[in-house]
Amino acid sequence: MKPNSLIFLAVLLLLLHGFSLADTANKQDSSAVPPSAPATRYLHVSTNPTMVDIFVNRSNIDFSSSPDYVSPNFVKLPPKDTAVRITLFQKGYSDTTINVTLSQKDTSFLIVSLRQNYDDELIEKQERILAHRTRKSLGHKLIIGSAIPFVSSAIAAIATQRYIKNTRKDRDAIQNSLIRDSDSYRETKDSFKENRSKAKTAKAIGGTTLGIGIVVLSAGLILSF
């Protein structure tokens, strides 16, 4: 074999060996890198009975407020959390609070059987709490719904200003008209009457819807507390 061929073969073997070492190192590095943490973590809460209110990481809980979840459900948690405080509320059962240590997996599981309570005073208190929650929920809906009459009132106010502007324009045209016995003059008078009537109607609608909005908003604020 010629010397040049031997040199070429040696260089080729060295290159192949270098590629093999690099590939092995890359595989080792990739296996050494821990898997990335999940974007979110979940705690699956199941209860007996079902349809139990779930409050997450709350202290001094006001049970008249809306719950974060209703069982059974997946409670969504930040990936950095290692523990979570779960409070369960259901009429006729004792309130239950559990501090849960989350597993390393992306989903943990909690199964709870609530203890039934036969204390009439406690049950009456829970009923008052739920009635208060219903009132608060209705109040919040009324507050949101009050936007409709307020928007309608604003639209009516804009329409009123436009009709008033047209009425003034027709009035000036009538006053400045030199020929009073003409089709154009009569059309302007008709337009003046129509715009004035529409302005009055729009103004009445605006005032009515504004009043309704104020009443609905006030009722919502009262019920939401």
Residue located via tokens 């908003």? 217
Query: What separation in angstroms does the CA of 97 have from each of 108, 112, 114, 178?
Result: 17, 10, 11, 87
Instruction: Going residue by residue through the chain, which has 225 residues, state the pLDDT in tens, using 9 for 90 and above.
Output: 444 444 444 444 444 445 454 555 455 444 443 455 556 889 999 999 999 999 999 988 999 999 999 999 999 998 888 899 999 999 999 999 999 999 888 899 999 999 999 999 999 999 999 999 999 999 999 999 999 999 999 999 999 999 999 999 888 888 887 777 777 888 888 888 899 999 999 999 999 999 999 999 999 999 988
Residues 22, 26, 32: CA angle, nearest 5 degrees: 145
Question: What pTM did the predictor assign?
Answer: 0.67
